[in-house]
Amino acid sequence: MSQIKKAPSGAGTFLRFAWQQLANRKAIQETFGNASSTDALAQRLRSDPNTRTLKLSATDSWTRSGLILSKGEHFSVYADGAVWISKPLSVGATPVTALWLRIGNQAPIQKIPAATATIEAWADGELEFCLKPPGEWASERGDFDSSVPRTGATGTVDIIVAKDAGEKQALQSRKPGGWSYLWRLGDGSIYEAAQCDGKPCIHVHTHGDVGILQYPVEIPLDDSATLEWRWCVDRLPSNLPEHIQPTHDYLSMAVEFDNGQDLTYYWSSELPVDTVFKCPLPWWDKRETHWVVRSGRDGLGQWQSEKRQLKPDYAQAIGGALPAKIVRVWLIANSVFQRRHGDAKFADIAISAAGVRKVIV
């Protein structure tokens, strides 16, 4: 059984982060520019007399667009701007991460898939927009969680939207079969099914965004419960310890239990192996626990094999009454805070217990 370690104080990490951000402020803030602003669809939207334009503030509630849609209709959106968590430290989110949509004041909410995109309406009703960093929703209808006040954020996003503008082909998801994005963070294009040495794998690339991919399972948390996977991590999205909010960028494999807790195994840039800590982000701090299984640059770019015994890991890392079963396997990729690139491939993911082995990829 591993001897787990506590994460160090975050004061030194924060000072290093602040110095890094201030030293590279101009280059980081340039990554918030909308690279697609001159593409054909964006130009068409700007010149279409039937477009509607909106300016959303970071703390606005849901804003009605005036655009009434029928399920199956296509509409196009162009968005530019940023939501700033701390502009002096260049911490913020682009529309791809922070711009949410709903139709007819009903579930489900969805995140804009790209700064310029054509989307197929998933319901009947008026299109609405809202700016919100991903995570702390109270419901899939887009109700705000009162325990996470929407204060402190600044910035605006300009939106141009029209029916049937541009191409009528909506963006297609590249996610692997059987997996789905966690609705709290929205769909995206972070993950895609791929081939590695002739075998199925999942490739993840993150840059200034976040996404959690989930696969449903029903595995008892008994003494034999085991999670296995192989991964080849080419680039880590953080060059600083990840245990404080401003540096919490990482790539990981995780499991969710039937009590709502999740345990996520990740590769740290610096924290020692077997460091365990609660997630530093609001809402997640009550649900997610991180365990460092690899650390540093040694082994990057090479395939590594992992095997975890889930029952003793849960007892050590989370504690309390043991849940009855594992209900989902997760892949997590986050690079919102430092806006660095993260790249990895995952293969041979399997979970087993009670004599049954479920191969996922």
Residues 265-291 pLDDT 10s: 999 999 999 999 999 998 899 999 999
Structure tokens at 52: 């509607």
What percentage of residues in the chain have a pLDDT greater than 90? 70
Residues 6+ apart with CB under 8 A from 196: 232, 345, 347
Domains of the chain, first to last: 32-163 (2.60.120.430), 173-359 (2.60.120)
Greatest mean pLDDT among 14-28, 48-62, 300-314? 300-314
Which string of DSSP letters, residue by residue, matches 198-235? TEEEEEEEEES-EEEEEEEEEEE-STT-EEEEEEEEEE
Which amino acid, 339? R
Rounded mean pLDDT, 337-357 = 95
Q: pLDDT value at position 171? A: 52
In DSSP terms, 120 is beta-bridged to: 74
Residues 73-120 pLDDT 10s: 999 999 999 888 888 898 988 998 999 999 999 999 999 888 888 899
Using the predicted structure, report yes or no on whether residue 149 has a pLDDT greater than 90: no
Smallest Cα–Cα separation from 351: which of 176, 211, 222, 202? 222
- The Cα 77–Cα 299 span in angstroms is 42
Residues 229-261 pLDDT 10s: 999 999 999 999 999 999 999 999 999 999 999
φ, ψ (nearest 5 deg) of residue 8: -75, 175
**H or E segment at 304?**
strand 303-309
- The Cα 153–Cα 192 span in angstroms is 32
- The Cα 323–Cα 297 span in angstroms is 35
Q: pLDDT value at position 245? A: 94
Residues 156-185 pLDDT 10s: 999 999 987 545 555 556 788 899 999 999
| In contact, 69 and 127? CB cutoff 8 Å | yes
